[in-house]
Each structure stands twice: as structure tokens, then as C-alpha cells.
Amino acid sequence: MTILKTLATAALALGLATGMASAESHGEPTKVGFIYVGPVGDYGWSYQHDQGRIAVEEHFGDKVETTFIESVPEGDSERAIRQLAQSGHDIIFTTSFGYMTPTNRVAAQFPDVKFEHATGYQRNTPNVSTYSGRFYEGRTVQGIIAGHMTETNTIGYIASFPIPEVIRGINASYLAAKSVNPDVEFKIIWVSTWFDPGKEADAANALIEQGADVILQHTDSTAPLTIAEERGIYGFGQASDMLEFGPNSRLSSIIDDWAPYYISRVQAVMDGTWESQDTWHGIDEGMTSIGSFNPVIPAAVRKQAMDAAIQIAAGNLHPFTGPINKQDGTPWLAEGETADDGTLLGMNFYVEGIEGSIPN
Amino acid sequence: MFRLEARPQQSRAMMLATPVLAVIATMIGGAILFVLLGKDPVEAIRIIFIDPFFDPFSRSELLVKGAPLVLIAIGLSFGFRAGIWNIGAEGQFIMGAIAGSAVGLAFYGTAGLWLLPLMALAGMLGGAAYAMVPAILKVRFNANEILVSLMLVYVADQFLRAIVSGPLRNPQGFNFPESRLFHDSAVLPILFDGTRVHVGVLAALVAVIVAWFVMERHVIGYNVKLLGAAPRAAGFAGVKQKRLTVLCLAISGGLAGLAGMIEAAGPFGQLVPTLPQGYGFTAIIVAFLGRLNPFGILLAGLVMALTYIGGETAQFRLQLPAAAISTFQGMLLFFLLGFDLFVKYRVRWARKGVA
């Protein structure tokens, strides 16, 4: 009897112990990892993703533990992603297009870890999601402001790489600028980098020499805005607000607000409801948002830009609405027709009116 | 007062000691840096230099990261010994990667064991051919190979960007500038399951052994060393200087090209514009850290790889900024060059008035 009783107690104790252990493992914080292509101090793209990370920490408190690796070269990212995967991270956000193949490779080897890749299109295994912002919606708003504000009718554009996302931004802002100022002209410089303050500053100066008095940028540093401030022309914040870098020169900005998305995805991991999906959110959902307007912008222009943002968010206005011809004059969209996401995702042509060619 | 005095002969002991001293000084300098950043220096040094050896994945990554560095540095050591300064290994690396990848993609979908050797050959030829530009300009017109080879790096980089946005672009890749993924028989086989260690690591080891043999046991090695030590004497001894210059550049270009092809067909499995990681430049540090000796280079390549891999771990475990890691790597070269002074000079304590 006693022996049986002892055994039973032991078994009970053991059961309790395992029960407690599993309860404890439930209490462990969810580990969230981030891979950044630039330094968190770029005050642009990577900075903004890091703001998202900080928001996750603030939202969940002790329930999460976040880590990041910054300045990870796209070509050498597989190891960094894998290090996060095997050091017990539950969900990993890889925040540059060039991480696409490495993310999918690592994901295939770590089926229990969730991966979120920004701006890519590959989801090879069920533990990979992709997400991006419809930044071109913000470009439309910028284009309206830039078209009104330019006095030389020359708008400069600092472009990074000739990928669809960048070309989409150029086309959207051109169409918007043209719609409010038929004489407007775009000068585009390709700098072949996402983040290089020196090169970006050189490009900004070169554009000013060519007569540009408003500069748009699709690179991550604050250098173009600083140059705009020095030379007394206008620019826009890119990815983050950048107000403090161009108090007079910054007209507005496109802000990538990743925080709500990151919080919802981490929550999904905690709840066990995470699923592979593709997210492309714009002004409506807040992933793309428009920074405050510089008071130098006339009230009527501010209203027009604001209305455009509101109409885009409401789904009443599509940045790519026909009639639009391609650069070579061939028709693309008929009167009233809007572009489908597939074409936008693979966009490799300028619209009619833009001069120069996309580098090959 | 301290006084520097030229040694009658280079100190062999110091030759061997300076790399070790440089690593130790880097650890001390790094520790100070980490303290200033408010991190635990002992833990940081442990994570960077020791932990990677105890983690199987990090251990395997040392080999992946070290292989291209060793291959390129071995090639460079021939030229450096002969006083021929090929600074453009990065460009030759890129050209080798392009040539190797082009062959792989030309036979897309074709199975066969012959494909990888053919790609390797193309990679070597691509790199060597690109190194012929500074070689021929040097022997024909006495153009400075340092400048020519360095400038050609930027040309190669632009060429790579052009080729992945044009002829070699993935037709199903939404116009993103990169090639398609290589098919299975154009990808280097993995040596150990679950790691990224590919056969290119073996190629690096073979290169080390062959280089040692050529350098120490073959007349080419003898001529190379003679040319570097005493160019005029080499002339009198019948060394054909021009031919040797071309040969040294061909060897360094060929091995850099092979490294490029190995990177493309190994860890990447495709041609992308972000393929060049500066290995061609880092390998210069590796070559000197390894005393231009093949086995020294092997060790130096692993030490260099260690700072990369440990550095990444330190970033996410301690949240050290990436710039601190780069500074840390820069210290290594700085201290090495600094301590090198003691190979040729010794410090004497001189009483006042004597000097």
C-alpha cells in the first residue's frame, strides 16, 4: 500500500512538475528578431523599422524580447538570419528586398520559426510572409505638392535601383506633378545604393545644378534634405519624417509606419494564429502615411494634397488611372482604367513624358 | 629616451610574433572600445573570439566565410612576394563570378558532373583575363598596376550590375536585377548536411597546399621571392621579369575569379549585384596577417572570418553597433602594421646626450 502510495505521489509530483515546466515555457517571452540593411541611425528606412521594433517592445512589455542586427549586407545575410533563427527567435523580420532568397532558404530549414520579409514576393514555405507599403500612394501626394511648388518646373529625383518599386514611385509622382503643372520636367539620377550619404548629397547637388528646385528621393539618408536646406530649395522626408533635417526645406514626407503591422504579427504568433500571407498596405491602413505639411505650401495646395490622400485612402482615387501611355507612346491604360497590382509589382517602364531611360 | 635601431637582419621571431601580438592588442583595444560603449568587454571578446568555436553552426560558417578569403589571399601572396601589387582582386572576383555564372546559366537545366568544373574553369579564366589588363599595361607601358587594378574594380562592379539587369536577368523575377537560381548541378555540393560548407572549402585547402609546394619547392617560387627581394639580382640570375609579372597577376586573378565563381555557385546559388562583399580587399589584410605564407594565410583567413561571425553574434547578443565591429576589424590591420616595425627595427634605451 505504502509503496503504491509513494509511487502515486511521485507520479503526481512528476506530473505537477511537468505541468509547471510547460506553464513556465508559456510564460517565456516571445523572441522577435529584426535584420536591418542600414544602421538604425540612418533616420530613414532602417530607423523606421527600428521604431516598429521599439513599438513592439512598448506594446508587449515583458511578454516580448526583441533583438536586431543592423547593417547586414544583402549578399551576406543568410548567416545573420540563421543565427537569429537558431537562437530561439519565434518570429524574424528581414527588412530589405535583397534578403528574399536567404530568408526563404533559412525558413525552409526552420519550419517552427515565422519569417516576415519586407518588399519581396517569394513565400516558398508556409512559415514565410511578405509585406510592404504602397509607397506610390504617398508619391502621388508628393507629386501634387512638388508640381505646385517648383518655380523652375524642374523636379529632381534621386533613385536607388531600377526595380519596380522605385520605378513605380517615379511614375506616380510624375503623373501627379504633371496633372497640376503641365510644364513640369523630371531629372532622375540613379545612385545604385540605398544608403550612401556622400553619393546622395552629390546627386542632390548635381540635380540642383541642372535646375531642380524640388528634390524627391528614394534613398534612405537625410543627406539630400540637408543639401536642400543649405541650397535653399525643397525636398521631402523619405521613409521617416526627417523634419529636423530640413526645417525649412522639407515640404512633407512619406512615413513608413510599420508599428501596427509588427504588433499585429507578433500578437498572431502569441495567439497561434499566424499564417503565411502577403500584405500590401497603403495610406488607408496607415502603413504609408503622410508627414505634416510645411507652412510655406499655399493653403489651396495643402488642401488638394490632403484631398488626394483622403480619396486614395477611401479607394476613390487610384494613382494610376488612365488614360496613361508608356514612355514610347504605346497605350497602357485606357480612359478610366486603373492599373492592376500585378502590373504595378513588375513595373519596368516609364510613363509617357518622362525623359531618359531606365538603366540596364 | 627610446631609440629605434635598424636590425642587421629581419627578426624571424618578430615575424612570427607580430600577428599574434596584433591579435592580442586588438582584443585589448577592442575591450577598451566596448567599455566605452557600456558593454561588458570580457563577454564581448568571448562572444567574438571564443564562442564561435563551441557552436557547430558558427564553426561551419567560419569555413564558408574563410574559404574565399584564403583563396584570394593565396593568389595575392605570389604577387606581393614578387613586389607586384594587385589591389584589384575584388574586380577579378566579380569577373570570375560572372564568367562562372554565365556558363552555369547557359547550361540551365542540364544535368552532368562536368558542369561545375567547367564553371570553375570559366571563373578562373574570367578572373585571370581581367588581371591581364593591368599585367599587359604594366609590362608594355610600365603603367602602375596598383592604380589600374584598383580602378578596374569599379568597372567590374558596374559591369555586374549591367549584366544582371540585362542578359542574365531572371525572366520570372519581376524585373529585379538578379539572375535566376542556378539549377542543382550548377550548385556546389554541400560537404556536411545542415550546414553551408561546400566543396569550395576543399578548393581553398588544395590551393594552400599547392601554393606552399610552388613557393617552397619549385623554381617559380624561388624566382618570385628573388624578384621581390632583389629585382636586379633576379635579372642577372636570368629571371624573366615581365613573364613573371604576367604570371603572378594571372595566378592572383585566376584564384580571385575562382573564389567569385565559388561564392556564386555556393552560398548564393545565383548571380546578384550584392555578390561582392569586399572579400578582394579584406584578402589583402589576410595575406599580410598570414605573412604571405600559405599556412599563415589559412590561419589568418580563419581569424578574419572569426571577427565577422563573432561580430554578428555580438551585435544581436549585446546589441553592439555594427560600426564598433568594423572599427574592431580595422584595429587588427592597424596593430599589425604597427608591430611590423619591430621586424626590421628594435627599440633601444638610449641615455640622454648619446643620441
Residue B341: pLDDT band (50, 70, 90) is: confident
Residue-wise pLDDT for B258-293, tens only, equals 999 999 999 999 998 888 888 999 999 899 889 899
Rounded to a whole number of angstroms, the distance from the CA of A215 to the nearest CA of chain B is 25
Grid cell 521594433 in the structure block, residue: A53
Interchain contact, A164 vs B175, CB within 8 Å = yes
Q: Over pLDDT 90: what percentage of chain A?
A: 79
Q: How many domains does chain A have?
A: 2
Confidence category of residue A194, pLDDT binned at 50, 70, 90 = confident
Q: Is residue A208 part of a domain?
A: yes
Tens of pLDDT along A249-270? 999 999 999 999 999 999 999 9
In contact, A203 and A157? CB cutoff 8 Å? no
Asked whether residue A279 is assigned to any structural domain, the reply reads no
Query: Is the confidence at residue A248, as pLDDT, over 90?
Result: yes
Query: Is A73 found in the same domain as A146?
Result: no
Shared domain for A251 and A321, answered yes or no, is: yes
Q: Which residues of A touch B52 (CB under 8 A)?
A: none
Q: Is A72 among the domain residues? A: yes
Q: What is the pTM of this model?
A: 0.81
Residue A25 is predicted with a pLDDT of 44
Least confident piece of the model among A300-304, B22-26, B192-196: B192-196
Q: Is residue A192 over pLDDT 50?
A: yes
Q: Does the pLDDT value for residue A84 go beyond 70?
A: yes
Specify whether A248 is located in the same domain as A339: yes
Tell me the backbone φ, ψ of residue A282, rounded to 5 degrees. Answer: -120, -145
Domain ranges across chain B: 65-292
Residues B82-118: tens digit of each pLDDT: 999 999 999 999 999 999 999 999 999 888 899 999 9
Q: Which helix (H) or strand (E) holds A302?
A: helix A299-314
**Residues recorded for chain B:** 355
Handedness of CA B237, B243, B249, B255 (dihedral sign): negative
Is residue A310 situated within a structural domain? yes
Q: Do A79 and B319 touch (CB under 8 A)?
A: no
For residue A228, tell me if it sits in a domain: yes
Measured CA to CA, the distance from residue A206 to residue A190 in angstroms comes to 12
Quick check: is A95 in a domain?
A: yes
User: Which of A8-17, B1-10, B191-200 has the highest average model confidence (pLDDT)?
Assistant: B191-200
Residue A19 has pLDDT above 60, yes or no: no
Burial (CB count <10 Å: 0-12, 13-18, 19+), residue A138 = buried
Confidence of residue A145 (pLDDT cuts 50, 70, 90): very high
- Kindly state whether B175 is in contact with chain A, defined as any CB-CB distance less than 8 angstroms: yes
Residue with cell 533559412: A106
Please answer yes or no on whether A75 and B61 come within 8 Å at the CB atom: no
Contact assessment for residue A342 and residue A121, using Cβ atoms and an 8 Å cutoff: no
Contacts from A116-125 at CB under 8 Å and sequence distance 24+? A116/A91, A116/A92, A116/A265, A117/A93, A118/A49, A118/A93, A118/A94, A119/A165, A121/A278, A121/A345, A121/B174, A123/A276, A123/A278, A125/A276
pLDDT per residue over B288-326, tens digit each?
889 899 999 999 999 889 988 888 888 888 888 888 888
| A331-333 and A154-159 strand pairing | unpaired
For residue range A36-64, list pLDDT tens digits in order: 998 898 888 999 999 999 999 999 999 99
Task: Evaluate whether B134 touches B86 at the Cβ level (below 8 Å).
Answer: yes
Domain match, A171 and A113 both: no
Can you give the pLDDT at residue A12? 43
Which pLDDT score is estimated for A216? Answer: 97
Residues of chain A with Cβ-Cβ distance to B58 below 8 Å are 83
State the pLDDT at residue A120: 87
Of A98, A164, A360, the CB nearest to B166: A360
| Domain identity same for A37 and A129 | yes
| pLDDT tens digits along A316-336 | 999 999 899 999 999 999 999
- Assigned domain for A333 exists: yes
Residue B73 has pLDDT above 80, yes or no: yes
Residues in A 1-60 with any Cβ partner in B closer than 8 A? 33, 39
Nearest Cα of chain B lies from the Cα of A245 at a distance, in angstroms, of 22
Give A360's pLDDT tier (boundaries 50, 70, 90): low
| CB neighbour burial string for B175-194, b if at least 16 within 10 angstroms, e if fewer | bbbbbbbbbebbbbeeeeee
Domain with A309, as residue range(s), is 135-255+288-345
Residues A152 and A225 placed together within one structural domain of the fold = yes
Q: Which of A68, A99, A133 is the last residue of a domain?
A: A133
Residue in chain B nearest A78 by alpha carbon: B267
- pLDDT class for B348, splitting at 50, 70, 90? confident
Q: Please state which of the ranges A76-90, B163-177, B250-264 shows the lowest mean pLDDT.
A: B163-177
Last residue of a domain, one of A133, A149, A172: A133
Nearest Cα neighbor of A76 from A102, A108, A40, A50 is A102
**Last residue in a domain, options A74, A99, A133:** A133
Residues A80 and A144 in one domain: no
Indicate whether A219 and A316 sit together in one domain.
yes
Sign of CA dihedral B254, B164, A163, A50: negative
The pLDDT of residue B148 is 96
Let me know if residue A93 belongs to a domain: yes
User: Given an 8 Å threshold on Cβ–Cβ distance, is B277 in contact with A75?
Assistant: yes
By three-state DSSP, how is residue A251 classified?
A: strand
| CATH code: domain of residue A88 | 3.40.50.2300
